[in-house]
Amino acid sequence: MGILKKAKSLLSADIYNDTKASDYMYGRKGPWPQPCPVHPFGESPAVIHVPWSEWADWWLHIGSRYLLSLGYTPVAFLKGLLRPGLEKVSDQEFTEFFERSMMSKFITSKIDEEDKINFGSYWEQWKDKSKLYIVDLSCISVVKTFEGIYASATKVLLNEVSPYKYEVLGIYVKESQEVFIPSDQGAWELAKYYVLQGAAIAATLVIHPVLHFPFDSINAITKTALPKEHILFKLIYPHLRFTLPLENAVLNFKSSLLMSKAWMSYAPYPWGSEGLRDLLVEGYRGIRGNDSYPAFQYPLTPHKVHSHYGDWQDRYYKAFYLFVSDILKDVEKGDIFIWRWANYISAHVPGFPNGDEIFKEDRLIKAVAMYLWNVSVAHSVDHYNYGNMDIRKVPLRIRQAPPHKGVDLMDRKKLTKFWDYGKYEMARILFFRANEVTCLIDCQYDFQEEHLQSRVAQFKSHLHQIDIETKEEGIQFIPLSKIAASIQY
């Protein structure tokens, strides 16, 4: 059936004609995505016009926390004064950052020709290793740092010696055009800091933002286009709170972290606002010719992460898949509201199934499960994990130029200034660490049917089971009690 013919058929349906404006959350006048004002062709669509009631709710529960937390500023800067500089990162610790943290999301087997050229003669030595992977942090190339502060694109070549256990073979530093290995001593130590700096920048400004902003269109369209009594609305609604005002504040407030003004006590990055937004563009649009940075496409299943961090997330996704499948199993194929909902979203979210595609196979289940999993589990664990890293080992600013062969590492106490630490600590407290208000395990779904509430209870029992099992296995990357219900920090 053609799109126009199908639309006419759906529009004539009695169920559609019976709906009133009052059946919708905002009377069909709710929020809607539009081109992002700063980068209309580079960043994902943004929701600029947020209902005042959502702003009030956000200010009461979240915005007020930001204001109160600013009072910690003197303490954060004093800590930097009393314990200046960076701390040593052993080779084992360095490897574990990529084995057991969100930084493992950078590990890929897609080694392209440029990577081989970068590692030069070392590549010829290592190319026959059993299972090679690369951590490509070339996205940092767009960074133009403040005077006296340095950054560089880097690449790390890894050999998997056993499942999720890696051997670091070497580090390529673009600014130096050199490859460093452990026997390079001081230069090797400095190269490790540059990798961790690049991973911290790319984690917070390239790969993590795609968990945020592309999903805002789904949030807004769900509130505006689905009737409040529709089962899909009731399933998604507990996971929508706080997000739109938060994202709006991040993208548009003059006091946002993305403004990166020198006077801000919480602006830890090594350069100003223009470079920050360029990194967001790289995360969404990808880097042309670089297999490690594809353009964003809405995933129906989690991307493969080569670590226990990824396996842990996959377990939760499977729980969401089963839950959504149970809740939506009686939805009619071709449901008019879902058809229109999917068409609206697919126009703003690349890769999201349109109204016809959404009913093929299990795409509706996967699309909804991915949204719920992303805004709760995937988002929360990134913040919890990164927010608990030692910021004296994972710097955002470095004050020694990128290494060359034979260079000595300067006194670690001089690698950063006390205000570098203070700004980083404030950003960690305000933005990076997890600060949940409503939790996934406490979600209340407004289903009136007893059998649907029974499925909710089964879902929560499944979540508890995963939490217990992963803790016993030593791979509990965030306690279930700390997983937020939505994107709220």
pLDDT tens by residue, 220-259? 999 999 999 999 999 999 999 999 999 999 999 999 999 9
Structure confidence at residue 16 (pLDDT): 53
Q: What integer is the mean pLDDT of 150-171?
A: 98
Q: Is the separation of the CB atoms in 415 and 399 below 8 Å?
A: yes
Structure confidence at residue 272 (pLDDT): 87
Residue 27 has pLDDT above 90, yes or no: yes
Residue 326 has pLDDT above 70, yes or no: yes
Residue 12 has pLDDT above 50, yes or no: no
Structure confidence at residue 197 (pLDDT): 99
CA-wise closest residue to 426 among 72, 68, 185: 72
Neighbouring residues of 12: CB distance < 8 A, sequence distance ≥ 6: none
CA-wise closest residue to 49 among 247, 268, 324: 247
Q: What integer is the mean pLDDT of 331-351?
A: 98
99: alpha, beta or left? (left if phi > 0; alpha if psi -120 to 50): alpha
pLDDT tens digits, one per residue of 204-226: 999 999 999 999 999 999 999 99
Structure confidence at residue 274 (pLDDT): 75
Neighbouring residues of 304: CB distance < 8 A, sequence distance ≥ 6: 310
Task: Work out the mean pLDDT of the chain and round it to a whole number.
Answer: 95
More confident residue, 28 or 483: 483
Q: In what order do the strands lie in the sheet with 178-180?
A: 107-108, 132-136, 154-162, 165-173, 178-180
Residue that has been written with the tokens 């610790």 in this structure: 93
Q: How far apart are the C-alpha atoms of 362 and 326, rounded to whole Å?
A: 12
Q: Is 34 helix (H, G, I), strand (E, B) or coil?
A: strand
Confidence at 8, pLDDT banded by 50, 70, 90 = very low
CA-wise closest residue to 347 among 244, 231, 218, 239: 218
Structure confidence at residue 340 (pLDDT): 97
Residue 163 has pLDDT above 90, yes or no: yes
Neighbouring residues of 190: CB distance < 8 A, sequence distance ≥ 6: 400, 402, 403, 407, 409
Confidence at 17, pLDDT banded by 50, 70, 90 = low
Domains and CATH numbers, the chain: 3-482 (1.20.245.10)
HSE on the CB side for 114, CA within 13 Å? 13
Q: How far apart are the C-alpha atoms of 94 and 90, rounded to whole Å?
A: 6
Q: How far apart are the C-alpha atoms of 196 and 96, rounded to whole Å?
A: 12
Residue 14 has pLDDT above 70, yes or no: no
Q: How far apart are the C-alpha atoms of 205 and 288, rounded to whole Å?
A: 18
pLDDT tens digits, one per residue of 280-303: 999 999 999 999 999 999 999 999
Query: What's the whole-model pTM score?
Result: 0.94
Q: What integer is the mean pLDDT of 148-166?
A: 98
Q: What integer is the mean pLDDT of 433-455?
A: 98
Residue 87 has pLDDT above 50, yes or no: yes
Neighbouring residues of 82: CB distance < 8 A, sequence distance ≥ 6: none
Q: How far apart are the C-alpha atoms of 43 and 350, rounded to whole Å?
A: 12
- Cα(first)–Cα(last) distance of the chain, in Å? 44
Residue 18 has pLDDT above 90, yes or no: no
Amino acid at 294: P
Residue 2 has pLDDT above 80, yes or no: no
By percentage, how much of the chain surpasses pLDDT 90?
93
Structure confidence at residue 273 (pLDDT): 82
CA-wise closest residue to 441 among 453, 459, 422: 459
Structure confidence at residue 276 (pLDDT): 87
Residue 7 has pLDDT above 60, yes or no: no
